């Protein structure tokens, strides 16, 4: 049986998440052929510096080391979620230091289901309880794309059923697996070894989609939404306030390099 996400509010009705009053639920299942999902795609324009080395083992069990980098990326442009996305906008300079990231979605345990229906505020609090923090957008994207900067993390081209995304059955109809336990799709990983950053559940990141509105950001797509969203440059945030929660959204934690703390 698929998860309770199919009971989520349809477009046009009020959100059952704890977001902005009266807002539409942007991540709820769409009415067939009647709903266009708008997201932001960010394309990488030029790599300035990028080390392919490692920074040693993570300070936590099941945390992976990722080398920092700097790059110039395109601006954020909302476009329909079609396979052909050409990002536009002004170039921006991004620089991040070395960091550690959870191998799996929270609770970061092989064989455990990701924790979902958790708000941005709660996700941040849960990371802090473990001496960690939510990943920044830049960290999330760096870990997801890997040292080779692949659009799908595992490679430059989409591969059906490599990650937990919708897939076509033998009859040609779309099938969905629901949220799956961490490690179910071990090949859904970048060369850093970070698993399930494409599909399964959206992931909260630490940053603003629109600070004036109080909207935060999720990334990576989910098991339910279109495969066109299952890519490392997908970002969404409309009406996703700090108290918004949905059973398509989870998270994972990061930590800056050089800090130590007890293991998970």
β-pairing, 63-66 vs 77-80, is unpaired
Q: What's residue 67's pLDDT?
A: 75
CA distance readout (Å), 173 to 3, 5, 169, 176, 200 = 19, 19, 6, 10, 19
Residue 111 token pair: 């064989």
**Domains, the chain, ordered by start:** 96-257 (3.90.1580.10)
Low-confidence residues in the chain, pLDDT < 70: 1-61, 68-93, 259-264
User: By the 8 A CB rule, do 178 and 2 touch?
Assistant: yes
* Separation CA 148–CA 155 (nearest Å): 8
- Residues 236-264: pLDDT tens digits? 999 999 999 999 999 999 999 876 544 45
Q: What's residue 11's pLDDT?
A: 32
User: By the 8 A CB rule, do 158 and 202 touch?
Assistant: no
Handedness of CA 183, 189, 194, 200 (dihedral sign): negative
* Separation CA 188–CA 74 (nearest Å): 26
- Among residues 218, 229, 113, the alpha carbon closest in space to that of 166 is found at 229
CA distance readout (Å), 57 to 67, 126, 260 = 12, 22, 11
């Amino acid at each position: 049986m698929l998860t309770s996400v199919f009971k989520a509010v349809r477009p046009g009705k009020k959100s059952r998440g704890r977001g902005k009053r009266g807002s539409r639920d942007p991540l709820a299942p769409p009415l067939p052929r009647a709903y266009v999902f708008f997201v932001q795609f960010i394309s990488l324009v030029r790599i300035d510096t990028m080390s392919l080395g490692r920074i040693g083992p993570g300070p936590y069990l099941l945390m992976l080391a990722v080398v920092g980098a700097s790059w110039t990326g395109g601006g954020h442009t909302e476009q329909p979620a079609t396979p052909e996305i050409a990002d536009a906008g002004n170039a921006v300079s991004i620089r991040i230091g070395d960091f550690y990231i959870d191998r799996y979605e929270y609770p970061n345990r092989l064989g455990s289901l990701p924790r979902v229906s958790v708000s941005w505020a709660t996700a941040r609090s849960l990371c802090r309880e473990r001496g960690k923090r939510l990943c920044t957008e830049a960290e999330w994207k760096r870990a997801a794309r890997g040292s080779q900067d692949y659009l799908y993390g595992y490679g430059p081209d989409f591969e059906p059923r490599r990650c937990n995304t919708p897939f076509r059955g033998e009859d040609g109809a779309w099938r969905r697996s629901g949220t799956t336990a961490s490690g179910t799709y071990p090949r859904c990983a970048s060369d850093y070894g970070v698993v399930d950053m494409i599909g399964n559940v959206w992931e909260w990141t630490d940053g603003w989609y629109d600070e004036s509105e109080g909207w935060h950001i999720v990334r990576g797509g989910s098991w339910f939404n279109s495969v066109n969203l299952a890519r490392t440059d997908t970002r969404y945030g409309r009406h996703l306030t700090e108290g918004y929660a949905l059973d398509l959204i989870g998270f994972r934690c990061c930590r800056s390099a050089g800090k130590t703390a007890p293991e998970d």
